[in-house]
């Protein structure tokens, strides 16, 4: 089974050809990051316009690199939510037009299901059920992956997503967008124990997250140092912030895995490429006899290969979208 997959939910225009769900024949990504960096974040109108400019060329390259043609495809998979409505619509309209013109089945894919599915690409042995921590620019969810496309949410953030916290702290110290990779790099030179930042505590669900308190603590620290005219050690500050985030992510995930008796833990989303999170989770899993899975960085951030993988499992389970498929900007995990 060959799937042509299309992704345009945020600021990367991407297309991929995926064979039998787990073999990536091509994975083309045109990132708009440089463009949005100028504005300190993603500008929706610019994102849509760039997607329109790039999408045909990206799809053409993906097909060319795969050595196959549209005729060879068994289905077309496309992200239809969540994301920026104008950005999503470019991919959805393109996929519908191609499905109609080439008379191919169309499969609508949930972007976050795509992020989780990124784990299947390089781990042929990984199959549900397993525990997965989803940490991206807009989501922080701890879920049980019951089956392909079937999620049980154990915890979620009450405020900022993990990636959002990285991006906001980066902006506060003038590192620019996107902040995650820049903090990851700068923190390597810092002492993660230098500053004791609060570990988020929430009432109610023990597996929920909260990052706004930590973000405020970091901002207060910066303001205080500026007011007092104190020299700040930025790598120490960032390493300590990152450590506080990683600590909470790892402890929630491993505690949940133990409570629910899972011996397999995966991570997904852009923040899953964070080196401290990968190391922290690896160590904690090892200590508890849990197998730990994570995608290569290129499959952590937005890409179409992961969408093709998710589309494959939806497709073989009989999912088909009509030509009335629409973008759903606030699509929730577990909804169709």
Q: Write the interaction track for Mg ion spanning residues 301-320; mark x where CB under 5 A is met and - where it is not.
A: -x------------------
Q: 180 among the known binding-site residues?
A: yes
Compute the distance between CA of residue 290 and CA of residue 255 in angstroms, rounded to an integer.
Answer: 11
Compute the distance between CA of residue 276 and CA of residue 294 in angstroms, rounded to an integer.
Answer: 13
Task: Return the range that interacts with ligand ATP (CB under 6 A); candidates 43-51, 144-152, 176-184, 196-204.
Answer: 176-184
Q: Which token pair is 152?
A: 């049980």
Position of tokens 């799937």?
A: 3
User: Which of 129, 329 has the CB closer to ligand ATP?
Assistant: 329
Out of ligand ATP, Fe ion, Mg ion, none, which partner does residue 21 contact, by CB within 5 to 8 A per kind? none
**195 burial type by CB count under 10 A (0-12 exposed, 13-18 middle, 19+ buried):** buried
Compute the distance between CA of residue 243 and CA of residue 247 in angstroms, rounded to an integer.
Answer: 6
Positive or negative, the Cα torsion across 310, 311, 315, 318? positive
Residue 163 interacting with ligand ATP (CB under 6 A): yes
How many other CB atoms are there within 10 angstroms of residue 8's CB atom?
A: 36
Footprint of Fe ion on residues 116-155 (CB under 5 A)? Answer: 136
- Find the shortest distance in angstroms from Cβ 180 to ligand ATP: 2
Q: 86 among the known binding-site residues?
A: no
**226 burial type by CB count under 10 A (0-12 exposed, 13-18 middle, 19+ buried):** exposed
- Find the shortest distance in angstroms from Cβ 274 to ligand ATP: 3
Binding site: residue ranges?
111, 115, 134-138, 167, 180, 184, 274, 302
Residues at the contact surface with ligand ATP, assessed by CB under 6 A: 10, 82-83, 111, 115, 136-139, 163, 166-167, 178-181, 184, 269-271, 273-274, 301-302
Binding site for Fe cation: residue ranges?
111, 115, 302
Residues at the contact surface with Mg ion, assessed by CB under 5 A: 10-11, 302
């Amino acid at each position: 089974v060959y799937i042509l997959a299309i992704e345009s939910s945020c600021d990367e225009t991407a297309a991929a050809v995926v064979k039998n769900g787990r073999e990536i024949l091509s994975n083309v990504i045109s990132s708009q990051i440089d463009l949005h960096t100028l504005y300190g974040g993603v500008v929706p109108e610019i994102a849509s316009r760039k997607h329109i400019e790039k999408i045909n060329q990206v799809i053409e390259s993906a097909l060319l690199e795969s050595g196959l043609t549209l005729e060879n495809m068994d289905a077309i998979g496309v992200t239809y939510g969540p994301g920026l409505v104008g950005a999503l619509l470019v991919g959805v309209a393109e996929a519908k037009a191609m499905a109609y013109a080439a008379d191919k089945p169309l499969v609508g894919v949930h972007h976050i299901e795509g992020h989780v599915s990124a784990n299947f690409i390089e781990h042929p042995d990984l199959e549900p059920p397993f525990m997965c921590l989803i940490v991206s620019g807009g989501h922080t969810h701890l879920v049980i992956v019951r089956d392909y496309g079937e999620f049980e949410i154990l915890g979620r953030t009450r405020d900022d997503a993990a990636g959002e916290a990285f991006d906001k702290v980066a902006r506060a110290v003038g590192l620019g967008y996107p902040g995650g990779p820049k903090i990851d790099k700068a923190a390597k030179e810092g002492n993660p124990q230098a500053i004791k930042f609060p570990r988020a505590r929430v009432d109610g669900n023990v597996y929920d997250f909260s990052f706004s308190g930590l973000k405020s603590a970091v901002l207060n620290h910066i303001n205080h140092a500026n007011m007092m005219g104190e020299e700040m050690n930025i790598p120490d500050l960032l390493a300590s912030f990152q450590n506080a985030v990683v600590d909470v992510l790892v402890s929630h995930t491993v505690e949940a895995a133990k409570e629910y008796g899972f011996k397999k833990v995966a991570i997904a989303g852009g923040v899953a490429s964070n080196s401290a999170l990968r190391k922290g989770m690896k160590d904690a899993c090892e200590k508890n006899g849990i197998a730990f899975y994570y995608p290569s960085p290129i499959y952590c951030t937005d890409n179409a290969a992961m969408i093709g993988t998710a589309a494959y499992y939806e497709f073989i389970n009989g999912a088909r979208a009509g030509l009335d498929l629409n973008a759903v900007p606030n699509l929730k995990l577990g909804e169709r």
